[in-house]
Structure 1
Amino acid sequence: MVPFPTEIKKIFAAVYLCIFFMSFKQLCQLVESQTCDIIIEDELWPLQWYLNKSEGDQYDMNVLPAWRSCINGTGVTVGVVDKGVQDHIDLKINKHIGFGDVNAGTVISLQHGTRVAGIIGALTNKNFTIGIAFGSEIADLKIASTAVWETFDVAVFFHRMDIIDIYSCSFANFHTGTKTYKLEKNQEDAFIKGTTLGRGGLGSVFVFATGNSGDETKISHDSCAFDRLVTNRYVISVAGIQNDLSKVPNGEACSAMMVAAFTAKGGAKHHEIVTTDVGNKSTGYFNHNSAAVPMVSGAVALAFSANPKLSYRDVMHLLVLTSRGDLPEFKQGNYFIKNAANLSVSSYFGFGLLDMGALVKRSRGWNNVPVKESCNAINPHRNPVESPYNFVHVHSCNISYTEHVEVSLKVNHRHAGQIQWVLISPHGTRSTILPGRILDSTKYMNFTVLTVQMWGETPNGYWTLEPTALFEINLDGGTVELISLTIHGFNCSSSDLKCLKPAVQDKSLFTTPLPDVTDKLPDVTDTLPDVTDKLPDVTDRLPDVTDKLPDVTDKLPDVTDKSDKRPNSTIMIIIVVVLGIGLVISGILLLCYVKKKKQFSFKDRLRIYQLSEK
């Protein structure tokens, strides 16, 4: 056997490596370009306008491109957190991973969960409808109640998190416009556990409805801003939107809203949502945000099917970047703003209408975002509510790509619950974090609220809180006791995303109030210039008048012949007074001379002489 020289071996190795690389690349392109013929024979498919737009409709949620690329949710499990899911010929339910007593419950109590499950995963089997992720399987996560948060069993949020990828939560509390729902510690702990340990450390995804109490024609209309269970940084908050891109009449709005999905208003006669129903039937009577949430849950299942390595935060980024907030019909409602990162966002619709085709396409080649970092800044001063000093200075923060912003407020005011608060970022983006409620009688507001509307911006700079008096109240007589900001995000330089330059602000507009910072002012006394040696010496310019003064010593009474040889106390007092008057007069004359900078005239000296004669 003839040995090859080392150089020849290196050439052969390079050639083999090149061939292997090209083959691998071709294989990847083949997989990505793979197409599947979709033949849908489900009888209600023509009525599913939200997936396959009907004649006259402008938009659907663009699911067909995902299905045609052979992505249908296979390998993904979606948990339906509800009051139960009934067995159905059009559903694939994994009976081994249920939560609660899945065999209990009345037909009526199982209705809601069964309808949610059909939108997510109804099979393509000629029966009724087809689900968005028809290749996925359903987990029945049954809870006893969907309205009382205090008795809510939070263990459902990490139940079988090794298998369950998505927790679809269509239930929502019916708000009254008076109560504030804080995120309880056990609830937050459950979310933290799910997003850190779920899916092998990639994090479970929680999709939540944002409530049906936002009807602005009612005095009790509410906002999801006051419900931290459904608007926190661990969950995806979903809004419902009608076929004409208008808001559902009773849909709530808040700055934590992330994405909108099609649904129908209550009592809709056309453009209904069709899905599975109890008794192996179907229904067109499913609406509001309850129907919008499973649309998003199914879409996330498609994204996981396309790229199982996505983290829960990757899913949020993908929804932000692929949802359609630029549709021309949206502009008529004037609901959208554009932040400094050029993202359109709305308190009513989040970052826009769900686009499943774009979501799946971008998921395929997505690189995971860097590890999350957090920065905190506080304004500890007690300022009046209407004070211009209600701001927070964020500096030296390593984050250059903002995700979530949490604002903690402590406000003591007789109308604290009726005040609207707007957060303004260093880039000038305005986000209404608390809208104020006419029935809210809260006098001491101690609450943390969330906004996603600064997504993609850089956080360093001055953040301002702007209050507005609503409902004919005024801002007088109250104080802001604490403002605290927590920024969540990452260093953009280590990601594929576009980095935004830091904001440029006029720092003179942000001056800390003097009463609170006098003890922090620098000592500048030692920096003042010494000017005493530069004052002009005017003593040599004073006129010598001592030789002109009359000699009065011979006119003083002779007291030496007194028997006790001691001066009389009365005479001493007179002498002291006379000398004092003389010194005062001399001082006045000297001061006048220095100020006028001129010598005494003859008349002045004569006047002094006459005065001394008296």
Structure 2
Amino acid sequence: MTPVSLQRAALCAALLAALPSVGLAQQANNDPLYRYQWHLMNYGQSVLGDARPAFGLDLGIDDLHDYNIRGKGVVVSVVDQGVEIAHPDLAANVVPDGSWNGLNGSHDPTPANGRNAHGTAVAGIIAAVGWNGIGGRGVAPAARLKSFNYLDGGGTQEEVWLTRPELADVQVSNNSWGSYANFLPTVVDELDIAAWERALSATRGGLGTIYVKSAGNGFASWRASDDGVDVWDVCNDAINRAGVGCQQSIWEESNGYFNVMVIAAGDASGVRSSYSTPGASIWVTGLGGEYGWQAQGLRNGGYSEAVAVGQLPVRYEPAIVTTDLSGCVRGYNTNVRGGFRNVLDGDASLLDNTCNYTGTMNGTSAAAPTVSGVVALMLQANPKLSYRDVKYILATTARQIDAGQAEVRDANGTVIAPGWTANAAGRRFSNWYGFGLIDATAAVTRATGFKSLPALLDSGWQRAVLAAPVAIGNAAAPARASVRIANRVGRIEAVQIGLSTDYRHAGTWGNGGGAVASPLLVTLTSPAGTRAFVLPAHSGYGGDVLTIPFTAVNAFLDEAGDGDWTVAVSDVDLAAGAASAGNLTSFKIRILGH
């Protein structure tokens, strides 16, 4: 056995000992597409996609399903496009009359538009029914599902997160969606943040619903639109050459909420999925894969790679196999959508001719539900876990992948984006992966009998006192501001910051304009000396004056909160001795922990 296999075997043995009432399942593995679901069990097998997955690179489900850890008793809401609740591989897990169609007020959110298959694919990743002789299975194949068609225009974020009566028994909220902006408004109201966090914490009888949210798919391409019709890519060659990511996860307000886990995507080889948005607010990584193309599939469908290049990225590494809108005229897998991408596509497929499944689901939209499924397994093992407990367990049991991820330097040798770093408490963090790839067996084992974290301590917003604006110099002479936190938080669970400058970028966002490759580098240094990259230089910025009114910076988990916190802002393109083009005008920080 490999070291990883030995470690997992030990974890499974410990779990079985901790759950003496759980017996091994005696059901045959009769889900015909399960073998292609490398994200569940990966032994290097041939899957959909012409590149094989790296052995052992999966969610670490291992024997959990055999021990009947399948998400039983846990309700997950899919806040997305509507889910086809009568799908043959979902219906048995859908809560009757538990969903909400915000467009017509009914309990059936099944999409009327046959192209809106996203929610159905997400739901299948979480909780497709297992051992029923069709399709594959979900990460938590016994969890219950509710659907809210928010992305179809059904309801507000407040309704689908907080106020709808159908949410009363929801424990996990999956949100495979994100913002389309490379900037935030100049001001994000602190009272509004506090109101959201109080309300989110009060759900689930005060334990707090676990909100799982996609980071985005904007590493190298980010689509924007002013009118919903004219769409363009705000990224450009200058941004992509920098290699730090066009989009950053910090540019969405709800990604900074203490209650929300922001999820990056990894592929089947154990590195960042090509599209996965990085950022200081990433928490952990799920599995989203790549695009799942196969040369044989292209030939079967009369689909040439030359045609494909003009429509979608052509990548032959595996994507995620999951449920699709049923039938061959709707969804991702059809006979009428310009050809096939792999051998699962079409009604002549020898794997499954129903077209009820797709092998091309990907994105952080696919990674988030892998995390939601693992959370459902954890909550079956220990329903008393709070949202803080779940976040902490996932972070501290995650596996480091892509251990050789290198820091990125510009032409002057300045580090403009980090690789993996270790904080003063020994926690490893990456802006690409957060605390690493989730490990289901390790997380469930830790969850069993977990002693909840102590009462939450909150420093409140503390502000730097600046006698005057501080000039933004080059990398050797950044603008700095500090705040001292005293006798407020012993061990950090989250850090939130805000800052403003009067530094004005050239370029336009609207009417087809692109983001600029901002030369500004923003870092935050803890009292213990850990340096986190809040905004890497040369990432995309679509605003005018640089302002970061609110974001989470997650690299400081388990460090001491008290002491001097210092933000630094530099213009890495500014020549030595040149006049500054702007100033740091404010800085604030909030520490949460225990």
Normalising by the residue count of structure 1, what TM-score does the alignment of the two structures yield?
A: 0.69
Equivalent runs, 1:249-328 vs 2, <5 Å: 249-266=274-291, 267-279=314-326, 281-325=356-400, 327=401
Letter in 1 for 2:582: G
Check conservation: 1:180, 1:227, Cα contact below 8 A.
no
Check conservation: 1:260, 1:352, Cα contact below 8 A.
yes
Letter in 1 for 2:161: F
2:249 to 224, 246, 269: 224
Equivalent runs, 1:466-505 vs 2, <5 Å: 466-471=568-573, 476-490=580-594
Check conservation: 1:409, 1:447, Cα contact below 8 A.
yes
Unaligned 5+ runs, structure 2:
1-15, 45-53, 222-234, 240-245, 292-313, 328-355, 408-418, 507-517
Whole-angstrom distance in 1 between the partners of 2:455 and 2:115: 41
Equivalent runs, 1:501-516 vs 2, <5 Å: none
Whole-angstrom distance in 1 between the partners of 2:187 and 2:208: 23
1:204 to 209, 212, 217: 209
Check conservation: 1:208, 1:293, Cα contact below 8 A.
yes
Whole-angstrom distance in 2 between the partners of 1:207 and 1:30: 27
2:147 to 140, 148, 156: 140
3-state SS, counterpart of residue 64 of structure 1: coil
**Higher relative helix content:** 1
Which residue number corresponds to residue 36 of structure 2? 47
Equivalent runs, 1:99-138 vs 2, <5 Å: 99=100, 100=102, 101=104, 102-103=108-109, 105-124=111-130, 125-138=132-145
What displacement does 1:230 show?
2.6
Whole-angstrom distance in 2 between the partners of 1:322 and 1:97: 33
Which residue number corresponds to residue 464 of structure 1? 566
Spell out, residue by residue over 1:236-268, the C-alpha distance to the aligned partner (whole angstroms, 9 max, x if none): 000001111221222111111111111222444
Unaligned 5+ runs, structure 1:
1-26, 491-614
What displacement does 1:463 show?
1.4
Which residue number corresponds to residue 500 of structure 1? none
Spell out, residue by residue over 1:535-562, the C-alpha distance to the aligned partner (whole angstroms, 9 max, x if none): xxxxxxxxxxxxxxxxxxxxxxxxxxxx
Change (3 A) 1:104 1:245: closer
Check conservation: 1:157, 1:191, Cα contact below 8 A.
no
The answer on 1:79 being equivalent to 2:95 is: no
Whole-angstrom distance in 2 between the partners of 1:222 and 1:455: 24
3-state SS, counterpart of residue 413 of structure 1: strand
Whole-angstrom distance in 1 between the partners of 2:110 and 2:33: 30
| Count of matched residue pairs | 458
3-state SS, counterpart of residue 225 of structure 1: helix
Change (3 A) 1:296 1:85: same
Structure number with the bigger relative contact order (C-alpha 8 A, sep ≥ 6) is 2
Change (3 A) 1:265 1:185: farther
Change (3 A) 1:480 1:173: closer
What displacement does 1:226 show?
1.4
Change (3 A) 1:229 1:109: farther
User: Which moves more between the two structures, 50-59 or 357-366?
Assistant: 50-59
Whole-angstrom distance in 2 between the partners of 1:378 and 1:187: 18
Change (3 A) 1:344 1:439: closer
Normalising by the residue count of structure 2, what TM-score does the alignment of the two structures yield?
A: 0.71
Check conservation: 2:527, 2:564, Cα contact below 8 A.
yes
3-state SS, counterpart of residue 529 of structure 2: coil
The answer on 1:192 being equivalent to 2:296 is: no
Which residue number corresponds to residue 301 of structure 2? none
Whole-angstrom distance in 2 between the partners of 1:255 and 1:488: 16
Check conservation: 2:479, 2:570, Cα contact below 8 A.
no
> Considering only aligned residues, what root-mean-square deviation do their CA atoms show, in Å?
2.8
Taking only the aligned residue pairs, the percentage that are identical comes to 25
Change (3 A) 1:136 1:187: farther
Letter in 1 for 2:43: S
Check conservation: 2:471, 2:479, Cα contact below 8 A.
no
What displacement does 1:269 show?
2.9
Whole-angstrom distance in 2 between the partners of 1:152 and 1:193: 18
Change (3 A) 1:445 1:85: same
What displacement does 1:188 show?
4.2
Whole-angstrom distance in 2 between the partners of 1:31 and 1:273: 34
Change (3 A) 1:384 1:182: closer
User: Which moves more between the two structures, 57-66 or 196-205?
Assistant: 57-66
1:236 to 247, 261, 280: 261
Which residue number corresponds to residue 88 of structure 2? 89
Check conservation: 1:85, 1:114, Cα contact below 8 A.
yes
2:439 to 343, 355, 362: 355
2:463 to 378, 382, 406: 378
Letter in 2 for 1:485: I
What displacement does 1:447 show?
1.1
